[in-house]
Amino acid sequence: MNSTSTPVYRAAHVSEAPAIAAASRLHVEYGLRWRWTPTRVRQEILDPDTMVLVSSLRGDLAGFAIMHFGDERAHLQLLAVLPPYRRAGIGTAMLAWLEKSCVTAGIQQIRLEVRSANRAAREFYARAGYKYLGQIGGYYDGHEAASVMARELYPAAALDRHRPDKR
Ligand SMILES: CC(C)(COP(=O)(O)OP(=O)(O)OC[C@H]1O[C@@H](n2cnc3c(N)ncnc32)[C@H](O)[C@@H]1OP(=O)(O)O)[C@@H](O)C(=O)NCCC(=O)NCCS
């Protein structure tokens, strides 16, 4: 990545659904049934409870993430950085962007599933503070395991400090 260029982080446009879906198929869903089709990504972009975030560099798609916001918990459904742009902090910046949105919305926990065989992604999430909660066998197409990981945004200790009776 050119060191003089700075990525932009913003909500995806509907017109970007095909590019996001194609990148998911190639870089996330390889070897699996294609679930994040252009139609599904488009639906997520239009869903008010979902954020489809893109990182764009000089107009090119550098990364994307899809997060569904519940009342107390958010689910990170997809996150990827395209190969030429990796190891430059874009994945971390997208996570931070989404985490900030969660805190603003009062969400306490972010959960995600990642292919257990995807060591790089598990290390990436661990480095970002996500804890391994367990494994779900056959989560992907009935034959590939998922590792469940989560990050607490409001640890109990921090909440305790803000309760009047603890002051
Ligand atoms: C995992 C992924 C999102 C990381 O994105 P990225 O922008 O390259 O990550 P960052 O530059 O923010 O990396 C932050 C830290 O995560 C860890 N990390 C990132 N990629 C790693 C790798 N391939 N191997 C081991 N650790 C890695 C490192 O600790 C890294 O810090 P460092 O570069 O100072 O060593 C990217 O490699 C990717 O898109 N992979 C394919 C899709 C995927 O697996 N998505 C996740 C599951 S949906």
Integer Cα distance of 38 and 22 in angstroms: 8
Q: Is residue 89 classed as helix, strand or coil in its secondary structure?
A: coil
Q: Which helix (H) or strand (E) holds 140?
A: strand 131-140
The rounded distance, in Å, linking the Cα atoms of 141 and 143 is 6
Instruction: Give the distance (Å) from ligand 1 centre to CA of residue 161.
Output: 34
Which residues have any ligand 1 atom within 6 Å of their CB? 27-28, 78-81, 86-92, 114, 118, 120-121, 123-124, 127
Greater pLDDT, 1 or 97 = 97
Q: What is the pLDDT of residues 36-74, one digit of tens each?
A: 999 999 999 999 999 999 999 999 999 999 999 998 999
Tokens of 74: 């958010």
Residue 157 pLDDT exceeds 50:
no
pLDDT at 34: 98
- Asked if pLDDT for residue 3 goes beyond 80, the answer is no
Residue given tokens 């998922």 in the structure block: 146
pLDDT digits over 100-147, tens only? 999 999 999 999 999 999 999 999 999 999 999 999 999 999 999 999
pLDDT exceeds 80 at position 84: yes
Give the list of residues 6+ apart from residue 99 with CB closer than 8 angstroms, or none.
110, 151, 153
**Would you state the pLDDT for residue 163?**
53
Give domain limits for the chain.
8-166
Predicted pLDDT at 154:
74
Q: Are 52 and 71 in contact (CB under 8 A)?
A: no
User: If you take atom 9 of ligand 1, which residue's CA is the nearest one?
Assistant: 91
Cα of 164 vs centre of ligand 1, distance in Å, is 41
- What gap in Å lies between CA 144 and CA 142, rounded to an integer? 6
Composition of the chain by helix, strand, coil, percent to 5:
35, 35, 30
- Tell me the two tokens of residue 61: 């798609």
Nearest CA to ligand 1 atom 34: 87
Amino acid at 136: I
Residue with tokens 């519940």: 70
CATH architecture type of domain 8-166: 3-Layer(aba) Sandwich (3.40)
Please name the helix (run of DSSP H) or strand (run of DSSP E) that holds residue 160, with its range, or none: helix 156-161
What integer pLDDT is reported at residue 112 of this predicted model?
A: 98
Residue 165 has pLDDT above 90, yes or no: no
Q: What is the pTM of this model?
A: 0.92
Taking the centre of ligand 1 as the mean of its atom positions, its distance from the CA of residue 12, in whole angstroms, is: 21
